[in-house]
A and B are shown apart, each in its own frame.
Chain A
Amino acid sequence: MDENSDTGFRVGRREVLTTTGTVAAALCFAGLPAVAQDSGRSNAETAPGPVTVELQVNGQPYVLMLDPRTTLLDALREHLALTGSKKGCDHGQCGACTVLIDGRRINSCLTLAVMHDGQAITTIEGLADSGTLNPMQAAFIAHDGFQCGYCTSGQICSATGMLSESRAGMPSYVTENLAQARPELTDVEIRERMSGNICRCAAYPNIVAAIKQVAGS
């Protein structure tokens, strides 16, 4: 899961520029035609030029040259080869693309990479610590919180963000007393707070159990 976190980046066929530490943006230009093809419909004659985007992904800085249309999800998957974040619906309905930006969970398919210039992004690849699964990942395995696994990275990133929100005292629609400083994370609360993550295998009972274990620890 964390193969890229310490070793720098394998530069694949379609990557523009990937490196750790200091980067030379000029290197990017070699990859531009591929970028233009990557992002949506080709408007070769009228398309505005690529823009420079610096992202801090899982603690590593990357400078990319991207078509402005590139979603954060496509930047992660197609340009940084971080394919843990999944493209399910690509319309913000399924949650498979959930990542954390400055610690907050969002749908990476419904935002442009260029809007997040300079921000810290955590993907599923960044949750484990030097090869050791983080507690949420371990709990999903212990409770069998998945079947096919396609939604799992989104579920785990979402659950991680959800616990931060809960610990910060954020209410949910099912919180009976809105004035309560820190609503207890009951099963009903967990289900409501996780409703943006769909699991077609319906592993929900086990997902709730996994999250509850981490919430209580």
Chain B
Amino acid sequence: MKSFTYERAATLARAAAALTKTGTKVIAGGTNLLDLMKLQVESPSQLVDINRLPLDKIEDTPEGGLRIGATVRNSDLAADSRVRQRYGVLSRALLSGASAQLRNKATTGGNLLQRTRCYYFYDVTKPCNKRNPGSGCAALGGFNRAHAILGASDQCIATNPSDMAVAMRALDASVETVNAKGESRAIPITELHRLPGNTPQIETTLKAGEIITAVTLPPPPPGVQIYRKVRDRTSYAFALVSVAAVVDAAGGRIRSARLAFGGVAPKPWRVPQAEEKLAGASASADTVNAVATAVLDGARGYGSNDFKIPLTRRTLSAVLAEATRT
């Protein structure tokens, strides 16, 4: 690990001001950042610790939703009674991620900003356009079992590893930030993460000095909430394919559905045209096929991850069957 100066932020404004300097990183849980620093994938010259700022509350909003502070731990968010009762898909997604020890440390904001787990991104001896722009992508012709089938580019085929963000995408969450001038803004979660294009090193739409302060959930949408995660082992593994679903159905007929996919793209993946096909439909095999085809529009495999295309179809089919069972 390269050396750095450490500062415990006394105020949010101070943290945002420090963050405008090149080489400064915010540290909260640190479970991803320190891992990357040990490997020198990340080598910040300064760390600003925001753990003691008052960003750790989960509050009811006047609209009937929840406002989740940026440093609320993943375990506390998953266990919050309001989340368990009204946003089960979020609780379940959080509980499916990492281990209990990591969830006790990892934060809401940090989870959104965690880096990909592409093996070549982690291996500093390999080319990686995300880590070292212009050096190439070793995953394209390499072992790419974990990689994206949607939204990738010829520069980068890494996936976003978050489960939490997939559930938040299905729930239409909004990400609140503040900058060094004290200006705050709300970013729809769909606009937080960028597709790689020719600049895979730029992963979010956050600007220099902008800090995530909270995530706001609108009131829960009607319907059953499901998070289904398919992975190489049944616990403590990243998703190969995951589906966060909110499906409002009665008597076998679907009124509305929201479907967000994880493990398949550089950001939580949601296709409105696919969801529209479910409005007023039954979950028949034909419908499921048409929806899956719409979700997978433009999908392609890169060799080791070809299986993700049929796996996405099957996972979606299982989720819709479960959602319409009662």
Interface residues of A (CB under 8 A from B): 39-41, 43, 46-48, 51, 67-69, 71, 90-92, 95, 98, 104-107, 110-112, 114-115, 117, 158, 161-162, 165, 168-173, 175, 178-179, 191-197
Contacts and interface: CB of A to CB of B under 8 A. Distances in A.
Contact of B101 (A39, A68, A95): A95
B86 to A, nearest CB: 10
Given A106-B105, A111-B34, A117-B8, 6 more contacts: A48-B3, A104-B104, A107-B101, A111-B30, A162-B100, A196-B102
B85 A179 contact: yes
B4 A68 contact: yes
Q: Give 4 nearest A-B pairs by CB, closest first.
A: A196-B99, A195-B235, A68-B6, A173-B95
Nearest to A165: B100
Contacts of B101: 92, 95, 98, 105-107, 158, 161, 196
A169 B98 CA distance: 19
B216 interface: no
B interface SS class: mixed
Nearest to B88: A178
B102 A92 contact: yes
Nearest to A116: B51
Nearest to A46: B3
Interface centre among B3, B49, B85 (most CB of A within 10 A): B3
B322 interface: no
Interface of B: 1-6, 8, 27, 29-31, 34-35, 38, 47, 49, 51, 75, 78-79, 84-85, 88, 91-92, 95-96, 98-102, 104-105, 235-236
B4 to A, nearest CB: 6
A196 B3 CA distance: 29
30 contacts: A41-B3, A47-B3, A48-B6, A68-B3, A71-B34, A91-B35, A92-B35, A92-B102, A110-B105, A111-B29, A112-B6, A114-B6, A114-B49, A115-B27, A117-B8, A161-B104, A168-B79, A170-B78, A171-B79, A171-B84, A172-B95, A178-B84, A178-B91, A194-B100, A195-B236, A196-B98, A196-B100, A196-B101, A196-B102, A197-B99
Given A92-B35, A110-B30, A67 B3 contact: yes
A210 to B, nearest CB: 17
Contacts of A68: 3-6, 47
Contacts, number: 119
Nearest to B78: A171
A interface SS class: loop
B5 A158 contact: no
Contacts of A173: 92, 95-96, 235
Contacts of B3: 40-41, 43, 46-48, 67-69
B186 to A, nearest CB: 28
A69 B235 contact: no
B34 A110 contact: yes
Contacts of B6: 48, 51, 68, 112, 114
Contacts of B91: 171, 178
Contact of A192 (B1, B75, B79, B235): B235
B31 A110 contact: yes
B75 A170 contact: yes
